[in-house]
Amino acid sequence: MGRVRFTTAGESHGPAVLAILEGVPAGLPLLAAHIDGELARRQQGYGRGRRMVIEHDQVEFLSGIRAGETLGSPITLLVPNRDWANWEAIMDPAPRAEDDAPAGRRRQLTRVRPGHADLTGLLKYDRADARDILERASARETTARVAAGAVARRLLVELGVSIGSHVVQLAGVDAPALAVLPDDINAAADASDVRCLDPVAAEAMRVAIDAAKVEGDTVGGVAEVVVRGLPVGLGSHVSWDRKLDGRLAQALCSIPAVKGVEMGDGFAAAARRGSTVHDEIVPHPGDARRGNVARRTNRAGGLEGGMTTGEPLVLRVAMKPISTLMRPLGTVDVATGQTAAAAAERSDVTAVPAMGVIAEAMTALILADAMLEKFGGDSLGELRRNVDGYLARVADRVR
Ligand code: EPS
């Protein structure tokens, strides 16, 4: 990331998770409610475990905002972990007497879970207890990403860009493709606890989640992110690290348990002929954001040459099943070297509905960065003027 950067910190069962976000221009109206609304969306979802009953995520602004507007300085967003009250002894930063006892600190995890960061992390970081790894590998960290992404989303909304997502596959159940998506994708998707726009598929997804739960198993799925209102020309074709498709793929693949990202028709396009893959271009006067042209189809998903075309950006994100199984797979206990059943910590059957919300947040952060890269501006007003100047020139091109 260049212009808009962020980092997160915090252990899953520590006092809080937080994000520091840099590069947001001054003068962006921002209230805690904007962040809290997104945090609540991330906490929804059929198939979540008991942790989501404990947490009611709410942001505290520690820096970068005054009287409801950004200052242009780093924005610190802190979200307390309510569960900390139950974990203070286990996660205490100070050493405790029991650390020296033969049994060591409580809640050690040595029966490392296949598919989790547990084993590789403790070998790499030379730890005896996989808790030192899993606390940070936990999807709790995505709370901070969604908080930072909510700020990026606010900026994009001011520039006429909207981001939505919905679940298109869960537990092996495919939602039928819709000819036209609703205007407000999130209003429709958030009304479903699996965030699926098709009620029949949604019910089949719930049934499949229940069946996996009964068998102590977990399930994955695919969410689709759709972004509307982007101007033509974000990103660049000139260098590998400026290509927007590559930057989006990196951001989305960094979400825990995400194993694949598709742009537009993605993998399916590889099996077809060019004449049925590429999108024909037609005049579309008066539409500067698309360069006064339109694509008859949008199989490219709004990206050509590593740049936005002005058509809706369409990204699909695939999540593997969560690796904590209540009916565990076989593993090695790293404390004894003996074979064992993997640890079965409290967890979720699926987090695919939440993953879609997290994917929106990561997409918003990358797009806010791309907007500031192209247009610059230390204040929202300056950024707007720069966008308007560019669109005025584009409107003059194809007539
Ligand atoms: C997670 C395990 C569960 C999830 C957690 C991620 O938490 P716990 O170990 O406390 O039961 O609920 O997700 C969140 C806390 C969250 O906010 O998304 C894991 O091991 O990755």
- For residue 8 and ligand 1, the question of a CB distance below 6 A is answered with no
11 CB within 6 A, ligand 1: no
Question: Residue 167 and residue 221: Cα distance in Å, rounded?
Answer: 8
The whole-angstrom separation of Cα 148 and Cα 128 is: 33
- Domain extent for 108: 5-397
Nearest CA to ligand 1 atom 19: 138
Which protein residue's CA is at the shortest distance from atom 3 of ligand 1?
Answer: 347
- Rg (C-alpha) for the chain, rounded Å, is 22
Q: How far is the CA of 347 from the centre of ligand 1 (A)?
A: 6
- Residues forming a β-bridge with 75: 21
84 CA to centre of ligand 1 in angstroms: 13
Secondary structure (3-state) at 254: coil
Report CA(358)–ligand 1 centroid distance (Å): 14
Task: Please tell me if the CB atom of residue 49 comes closer than 6 angstroms to any atom of ligand 1.
Answer: yes
Amino acid at position 171, single letter: A
Longest dimension (CA), the chain: 79
In short, whether 346's Cβ falls inside 6 Å of ligand 1 is yes
CATH number at residue 182: 3.60.150.10
Q: What is the pLDDT of residue 1?
A: 53
Helices (H), the chain: 32-43, 51-54, 88-91, 118-125, 131-137, 142-158, 185-190, 199-214, 244-253, 352-375, 380-395
Atom of ligand 1 nearest to the CA of 57: 17
How many independent structural domains does the chain possess?
Answer: 1
Q: pLDDT digits over 11-54, tens only?
A: 999 999 999 999 999 999 999 999 999 999 999 999 999 999 99
Strand partners, 318: 222, 260
The pLDDT, as a whole number, for residue 102 is: 67
Protein residue with its CA nearest to atom 18 in ligand 1:
140
Is 296 near ligand 1, meaning CB less than 6 Å away?
Answer: no
Q: Is 51 in the pocket of ligand 1 (CB under 6 A)?
A: yes
Q: Whose CA is nearest to atom 17 of ligand 1?
A: 140
Alpha carbon nearest to ligand 1 atom 4, residue: 347
Q: Which parts of the chain sit beneath pLDDT 70?
A: 1, 102-104
pLDDT at position 29, please? 98
Distance 180 CA to ligand 1 centre (A): 35
Strands 281-283 vs 293-295: parallel, antiparallel or unpaired: antiparallel
Atom of ligand 1 nearest to the CA of 48: 12
Task: For the full predicted model, state whether its pTM sits above 0.75.
Answer: yes
**Res 398: pLDDT:** 78
From 41, 87, 138, the mutation candidate for ligand 1 (largest count of ligand atoms within 8 A of CB) is 138
Cite the DSSP H helix spans in 19-128.
32-43, 51-54, 88-91, 118-125
Which residue is listed with tokens 């092996």?
Answer: 172
Pocket probe for ligand 1: among 109, 347, 349, 350, the residue whose CB has the most ligand atoms within 8 Å is: 347
Q: Whose CA is nearest to atom 15 of ligand 1?
A: 140
Q: What pLDDT score was predicted for residue 157?
A: 98
User: Residues 125-184: pLDDT tens digits?
Assistant: 999 999 999 999 999 999 999 999 999 999 999 999 999 999 999 999 999 999 999 999
164 alpha carbon to ligand 1 midpoint, in Å?
Answer: 24
